[in-house]
Structure 1
Amino acid sequence: MSARSSETVDVAALLERFRSRQATIGIIGLGYVGLPLALTAARVGFQVLGFDINPAYVDSLNRGESYIRHIGSEPVAAAVRTGRLEATADFSRLGEPDALLICVPTPLTKHREPDLSYVERTARDIAARLRRGQLVVLESTTYPGTTDEVLKPILEATGLKSGRDFFLAFSPEREDPGNPDFGTSTIPKVVGGDGPDALALADALYAGLVVKTVPVSSTATAEAVKLTENIFRAVNIALVNELKVVYAAMGIDVWEVIDAAKTKPFGFMPFYPGPGLGGHCIPIDPFYLTWKAREFDVATRFIELAGEVNTHMPYHVVDRLAEAVDRGGRAFSGSKILILGVAYKKNVDDMRESPSLKLIELIEARGAAVDFHDPHVPALPPTRRHGALTGRRSVDLTASALAGYDAVLIATDHDAVDYGQVVEHARLVIDTRNACAKAGIASHKIIKA
């Protein structure tokens, strides 16, 4: 039978394959989203074929080794040992799985517009091997309409039709790297389908992977759900970042204010300030919606203002750092600064959109020299916007090393850092995460920023 045949797909049989976990699941992109999803699917009994363009990732997984710190190698080794997980860089095998889950990056261009090149390239790869009866699900965060307006036309250019020959859905990833309380299987999964059969199939697939599915009326609704979740966080983080600046001018500690306010059992949700936003979602997702809204002549002033506040935070931190060094009698230009933590959040090695990279560039642009220490990042990896920093290595955190810097800037509050040692030996500590106070450390050397 030809792959382009018009014979009716047996949806009931495919549903049963998903429900009985007899299906093969293909996962495209084996990073911070795709790898935990692949391990979850393998653990519950699906056969998993993982695709990635990085041969080092493929080789590592097939050896049973993880390249993501907070995941570890034990679950990878178990999945490979049971024969449930195989990784490949051979995209000609995309026709093998019953379902293809797309977990590729959706970054911004330098003009802060959506960059869907990874999604489009993956769609073309799938189209080259697409067969009747496959379910294709996009998990990458994007603007409402992407699945229908970008992914679907590429796949239907094959002559196969969504809802008849293959099935298309969107189910946004909700990963929180390093979160000890919630993992892939314990986070409810929103699912939207291109038609009722696609929704039923995607729902059946994810029902075998996660604690609960949340079906919605369309792929665009599911896309909007993910943007709403992260815009909510971005706006509230912008609010506390602005309050931090306002209260600091009044001599009030915003951290103390938040800790007291969150004792109210209703009507308040704590969010915390920082040196800028990091991670793949919160710094990026709001701009996906503001870009799409312009198509409908709708202004997103509130969201854009939040983006401006959060984007400005590294500049504010560097201003505070420079003022503190200058007040100590040393010129900021020519000073030596140590940044503690370059991962975007504590206790992980995830460098995506880390504000520490912007901090390094801003500090060095003002004439200071910068080193960093991060217990989870031995060297700075290649990044899209900070390529000149690639390969810089973490320095040892010793008493003599700390004493040699004009200031230590805490950008990420990793638990593995001894903040007592830092405050004892550093000349000056700029704390953007309230790490010292949380460790019970008070000193005239500490300045919050």
Structure 2
Amino acid sequence: MPADLAVIGLGPYGLPLAQAAVTAGVATLGYRTGPEAGLLSPAEQRRMLSGGFRPTTNATELGRVRTAVICAPTPQGADGGLDLSRLEAAARTLAAHLRPHTTVILESPVYPGTTEGILRPLLEEGSGLRAGRDFHLAYSPSRVDPGNRDFTPANTPKVIGGLTPACTESAAAFYGRLTDKVVRARGPREAETVQLLETNYRHVNIALVNEMAVLCHDLGVDLWDVVRCAETKPFGFQAFRPGPGVGGHAVPQDLTAHGGRTLRMVELAQQVNSRMPGYVVQRAATLLNEHGKSARGARVLLLGVTYKPDLADLHGTPAQEIALRLMELGASVSYHDPHVPAWSVLDRPVPRVDSLYEAVADADLTILLQQHRTYDLQGLSVKAQLLLDTRGAAPTGAAHRL
């Protein structure tokens, strides 16, 4: 069966799009841009295959679809900016097989101006076609929230910014098959900047509440109660909660590596959030010391090492740095996570406990890093000698909170 859609890049942005397309009845081709880790369960993979999804490594098939969406990862590079190398490689691959009247959409996180300044020239030079005349070109920020059961691709509005009005309408027609609402931006730069604003909004607000967590601990104030009360305000406030660090695939962008432009608030947010793993370890060492124990030789159990609850994704998880810092202090570190059967830190395997309650009772300190649904925090807090709760999930008074 011929495919209507080619999703180029099957990582954290491409796979959810391919899933949404298959669910909507769109015959979909999946083309990998590199060694992307599988983020789907075997059951989800079977459902996609039976619904019309077809993975391929044959680039010539990219020239047989009506719509091609580039979802190549753009991770943080050595200079702190976005690494666009896989996006550029994907563009060259597509360009070699691009046919007239195809709609090309970019969903990868990028800097404003990337669609027109980088993607367009690569597609035009490699295909001999002209964007806006021979094929449609647009940008749409990916709005993926893994594990969110309330907001799915079907009920999350999609922003579209096309090179021309016709490009916008062609992209809108495609996304109209997947979602209830399409929002048209003035152009690609505006749509790209939507992604920039949404990503940085998350990081800045997490940084604010992380700073508040440190302040409130020093003042003897229960931040979790403060947030609970503050979120009753029906306007002008959205609740964010602190944690041991910020994980995930969305990289904060202050544009320093892109033309030297600096977003001061984002730069500060990065500094605040990057300090949180160290702060957790500092709190852990202090707790042990207050109870007559040293971090050196202490048995420390980490609960939940993924970056998000109820998912197996380890990308950017703060648990990595926390475990490493504890090991450097001489602690004996083990972990439990129902979604992670094996875990290593700098190629050093971290022991995984099987009997959770026995391990919690045996540990000198248990640190809750991720609040998986399967954890009975009431029962675990009773068993634990010391419990440091970085998520505010344990019953009040049952644990030491971040």
- Structure 2: segments with no counterpart, 5+ residues: none
Separation in 2 of the partners of 1:236 and 1:55?
32
Supply the AA of the counterpart residue of 1:408. Answer: T
**C-alpha distance after superposition, 1:359-409 (max 9, x if no partner):** 11121122212111111121238xxxx6525x6463224332222222111
- Give the structure 2 partner of residue 68 of structure 1: 40
- 1:68–1:349 Cα contact (<8 Å) kept: no
Tell whether the 8 Å contact from 1:168 to 1:194 is kept in structure 2 after alignment: yes
Q: What is the match of residue 121 of structure 2?
A: 153
- The answer to whether residue 191 in structure 2 is matched with residue 214 in structure 1 is no
Letter in 2 for 1:87: P
Write the letter of the residue equivalent to 2:144.
E
Match of 2:382 among 424, 432, 435: 424
Instruction: Tell me the equivalent position of 1:359.
Output: 322
**What is the rounded CA distance, in whole Å, between the counterparts of 1:309 and 1:110 in structure 2?**
20
1:107 matches 2:75: yes
Contact 1:171 1:222 in 2 (8 A): yes
Contact 2:75 2:249 in 1 (8 A): yes
Distance between the aligned counterparts of 1:369 and 1:346, measured in 2? Answer: 25
CA deviations over 1:394-432 (Å, ceiling 9, x no partner): 322433222222211111111111223322222111110
1:172 aligns with 2:135: no
- Which residue is equivalent to 2:13? 33
Q: Deviations over 1:269-304 (max 9, x none)?
A: 1111110101111xx1334x3433xx2x64422221
Alpha-carbon displacement from aligned partner over 1:281-337 (angstroms, at most 9, x marks no partner): 1xx1334x3433xx2x64422221111111111111110011111221111122221
Q: Which of the numbers 196, 214, 227 marks the counterpart of 1:245? A: 214
State the partner residue of 1:60.
none
SS of the equivalent of 2:217 reads helix
Q: Name the TM-score, length of structure 1 as normaliser.
A: 0.84
How many Å separate the matches in 2 of 1:43 and 1:112? 37
Aligned residues: CA RMSD: 2.1
Q: Kindly indicate whether the alpha-carbon contact (under 8 Å) linking 2:253 and 2:266 is maintained by their aligned counterparts in 1.
A: yes
Equivalences, count: 400
Partner of 2:81, secondary structure, is: coil
Counterpart code for 2:373: D
> Which stretches in structure 1 are left out of the alignment for 5+ residues?
1-21, 58-65
Shift of 1:92: 3.0
**Matched letter for residue 332 of structure 1:** A
Q: Which residue identity lines up with residue 236 of structure 2 in the other structure? A: G
* Aligned mates of 1:165, 1:184 — CA distance in 2: 29
8 Å CA contact retained: 1:412, 1:433? yes
1:388 alignment partner, one of 327, 335, 347? 347
Q: Is the 8 A contact 1:371 1:394 kept in 2?
A: yes
The residue aligned with 1:46 is 26
8 Å CA contact 1:279–1:354 kept in 2: the answer is yes
Alignment of 1:283-432 (within 5 A): 284-287=251-254, 289-292=255-258, 295=259, 298-380=261-343, 387-389=346-348, 392=350, 394-432=352-390
CA distance in structure 1 between the aligned counterparts of 2:33 and 2:70, rounded to whole angstroms: 13
Tell me the distance in 2 between the aligned counterparts of 1:125 and 1:395.
Answer: 45
Equivalent residue number for residue 170 of structure 2 = 201
**Corresponding residue for residue 62 of structure 1:** none
**Is 2:3–2:64's contact at 8 Å kept on the other side of the alignment?**
no
Counterparts of 2:39 and 2:324 in 1: how far apart (Å)?
Answer: 27
TM-score by length of 2: 0.93
User: Identity rate of aligned residues, in percent?
Assistant: 39
Deviation per CA, 1:64-100: give whole Å up to 9, x if none.
Answer: xx8524xx725x4344335x22111222322121111
- 1:231 aligned residue (185, 188, 200): 200
| 3-state secondary structure, aligned to 2:353 | coil
| CA distances 1:191-232 after superposition (whole Å, capped 9, x unpaired) | 011122211111111111111011111111111001101211
The amino acid that maps onto 2:352 is S
